[in-house]
């Protein structure tokens, strides 16, 4: 009997996103692509996805040029390129209108992206099926995705039924997206076999993270059950909170008896060397060292490994406030490890009560933030769920899609108390078409919409970052942030993380209570705040007005100065788009 073939896909974008804030620049991507091809072992390479294009804009680069430059050599070599697509959210953290989502597939196909991996964090097929149709119309391959998690609801039968629906809608491929690496090997093998038994011609691709340590066993199980393509990483950005390394996966599968491609080791070492060069150049300044480490603690909370860096930053920001409140009540301060375990336990409390959403972007952030805010409100003597923003409520109320499980009675009662209504219709209805508005503004500004309307797409998809890119402020800010990171890393020979920890040890982090745009002033023109220097050193009393946040609904909300103190650092300047839990500034008491 002939050995069954297993193909490999290099998730070069996700390698960087799982470790740090940025990915390589366009010129670096152009250098690495031919060497990846020379390795001779990849049938597919991930070349785009969430955060990729926002980062290009922050660099002052045109994302469309970067995507074309990275995909072109793979297209010419016959290696399929793929992107990560958040379904209703497309390439961002909040929902998109239908006309923008349709345009995405025409633009990306023209730029050389072959496959779009479409997922919904809730596995709501209403958020995936329209994208399958639009991708097919544009000539792309829609890879419908199952977000894998481990709960009483998420059984093999549950996932198999969703796969049936997505395949019936026209998806020729299924991705098992094990974003937290907590998928149990036995379940994943069973699910793969169930899909292949019903749909033997469907291609199954498995994506996993290494954080909790299960994914090598899972890779073997899905391959034994019929999987076709396995996502892998390479050193120096494999393992840890990232993905399994190509060399280990190839060795395991080859020795089991699968037909796997050989690897040009000279090219592997060159790719490894170049990737390290990119890290040493500047990317390493924004990589959290803890993401190099695996942690079995992730099995308990189910959070994606790539979130650990931001979660630890949020935890440190909240720790001072929590401990101050505890000390006022005569309770002992919590150490970081103690607080981390409490946070994991609180995630375990919150998750079933908000309907077991798979913990993937953006719902992993929402659940983690609810848990963190619960710890903070508990320290203040306030009840759980008393600090939730509109995005969190949107998930609970069904405005992002149908939750897998029921909402807890305590949250139903709280929603009723606050006159909030649960939503059961298709979430797409809530987001009307938007392209005409953006096209009109581009005409007024004299901006070209670009070939295939690709510039129109970028503006509509990443409005805030695109404006900053066009006026040149994005690149200036990035270069300033990079220099600051280098300066901090050089101080006393310590790392960036250590330098920041020292600086913030006596300061409280003021975090964004919801996603939106930070405004330090709104009188007159918003651009009037050209410098943050006048604000540094300003003293606030507890509860004083601090700044504004304009949310995605256009509502402007005042943000109080928490416990008060002297403003010592601003992380988010005028016009900066922040997510829930992002640090706006530090206040020293």
Q: What's domain 506-588's architecture?
A: Beta Barrel (2.40)
Burial of residue 336 (CB within 10 Å: 0-12, 13-18, 19+) is: exposed
pLDDT in tens, the chain (589 residues): 568 999 999 999 999 988 887 899 999 999 999 999 999 999 999 999 988 999 999 899 999 999 999 999 999 999 999 999 999 999 988 899 999 999 999 999 999 999 999 999 999 999 999 999 999 999 999 999 999 998 999 999 999 999 999 999 999 999 999 998 999 999 999 999 999 999 999 999 999 999 999 999 999 999 999 999 999 999 999 999 899 999 999 999 999 999 999 999 999 999 999 999 999 999 998 887 878 888 887 777 777 765 655 666 667 767 777 888 888 888 888 888 888 888 888 988 999 999 999 888 788 888 988 998 888 888 888 899 988 888 889 899 999 999 999 999 999 999 999 999 999 999 999 999 999 999 999 999 999 999 999 999 999 999 988 998 998 888 888 888 888 888 777 754 444 444 455 445 556 778 888 888 888 775 433 343 445 556 777 888 877 888 888 776 566 777 888 777 888 888 887 777 787 777 888 887 6
Q: Is the pTM of this model over 0.95?
A: no
| d(C-alpha 132, C-alpha 137), whole Å | 9
Q: Which residues of 259-282 are buried (b: 16+ CB within 10 A; e: fewer)?
A: ebbebbeebbebbbebbeebbeeb
Ranges of each domain in the chain: 7-285, 307-430, 506-588
Q: Which helix (H) or strand (E) holds 326?
A: helix 308-328
Which residues in 139-181 belong to E strands, given as ranges?
A: 141-147, 173-178
Report helix, strand or coil for 565.
strand
| d(C-alpha 494, C-alpha 142), whole Å | 46
Q: How many CB atoms lie within 10 A of CB 51?
A: 20
State whether the Cα torsion 376-377-378-379 is positive or negative: positive
Report which of 521, 513, 6 is spatially closest to residue 259, judged by C-alpha positions.
6
CATH for 7-285? 3.20.20.70
């Amino acid at each position: 009997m002939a050995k069954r073939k297993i193909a490999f896909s290099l998730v070069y974008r996700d390698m960087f996103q799982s470790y740090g804030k940025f990915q390589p620049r366009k010129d670096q991507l152009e250098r690495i692509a031919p060497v990846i091809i020379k390795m001779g072992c990849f049938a597919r390479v991930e070349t785009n996805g969430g955060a990729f294009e926002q980062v290009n804009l922050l660099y002052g680069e045109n994302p469309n040029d970067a995507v074309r430059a990275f995909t072109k050599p793979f297209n010419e070599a016959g290696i399929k390129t793929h992107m990560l697509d958040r379904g209703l959210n497309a390439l961002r953290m909040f929902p998109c209108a239908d006309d923008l989502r349709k345009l995405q597939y025409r633009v990306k196909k023209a730029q050389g992206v072959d496959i779009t991996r479409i997922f919904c964090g809730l596995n709501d097929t209403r958020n995936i099926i329209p994208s399958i149709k639009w991708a097919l119309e544009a000539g792309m391959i829609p890879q419908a995705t199952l977000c894998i998690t481990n709960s009483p609801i998420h059984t093999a039968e549950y996932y198999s039924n969703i796969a049936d629906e997505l395949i019936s809608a026209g998806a020729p491929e299924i991705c098992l997206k094990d974003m937290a690496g907590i998928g149990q090997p036995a379940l994943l093998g069973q699910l793969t076999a169930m899909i292949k038994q019903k749909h033997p011609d469907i291609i199954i691709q498995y994506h996993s993270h290494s954080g909790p340590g299960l994914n090598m066993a899972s890779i073997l199980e899905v391959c034994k059950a019929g999987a076709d393509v396995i996502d892998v990483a390479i050193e120096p950005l494999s393992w840890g909170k990232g993905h399994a390394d190509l060399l280990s996966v190839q060795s395991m599968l080859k020795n089991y008896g699968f037909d796997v491609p050989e690897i040009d080791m000279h090219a592997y070492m060159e790719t490894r060397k170049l990737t390290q060069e990119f890290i040493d150049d500047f990317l390493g300044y924004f990589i959290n060292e803890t993401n190099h480490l695996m942690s079995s603690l992730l099995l308990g909370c189910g959070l994606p490994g790539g979130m650990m860096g931001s979660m630890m930053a949020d935890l440190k920001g909240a720790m001072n406030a929590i401990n101050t409140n505890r000390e006022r009540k005569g309770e002992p301060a919590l150490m970081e490890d103690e607080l981390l375990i409490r946070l994991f336990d609180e995630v375990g409390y919150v998750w079933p009560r908000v309907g077991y959403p798979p913990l993937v972007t953006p719902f992993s952030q929402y659940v983690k933030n609810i848990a963190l805010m619960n710890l903070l409100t508990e320290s203040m003597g306030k009840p759980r769920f008393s600090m939730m923003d509109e995005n969190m409520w949107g998930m609970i109320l069904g405005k992002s899609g149908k939750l897998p499980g029921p909402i807890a009675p305590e949250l139903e009662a709280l929603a009723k108390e606050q006159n909030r209504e649960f939503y059961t219709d298709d979430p797409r209805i809530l987001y009307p078409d938007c392209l005409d508005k953006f096209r009109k503004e581009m005409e007024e500004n004299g901006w070209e919409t670009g070939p295939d309307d690709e510039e129109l797409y970028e503006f509509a998809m990443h409005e805030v970052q695109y404006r900053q890119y066009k006026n040149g402020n994005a690149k200036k800010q990035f270069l300033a942030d990079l220099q600051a990171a280098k300066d901090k890393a050089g101080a006393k020979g310590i790392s960036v993380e250590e330098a920041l920890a020292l600086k913030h040890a006596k300061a409280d982090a003021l975090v964004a209570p919801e996603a939106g745009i930070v405004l330090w002033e709104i009188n007159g023109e918003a651009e009037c705040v050209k410098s943050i220097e006048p604000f540094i050193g300003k003293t606030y009393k507890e509860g004083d007005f601090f700044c504004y946040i304009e949310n995605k609904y256009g509502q402007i909300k005042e943000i109080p100065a928490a416990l008060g103190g002297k403003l010592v650092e601003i992380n988010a300047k005028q016009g900066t788009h922040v997510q829930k839990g992002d640090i706006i500034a530090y206040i020293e008491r």
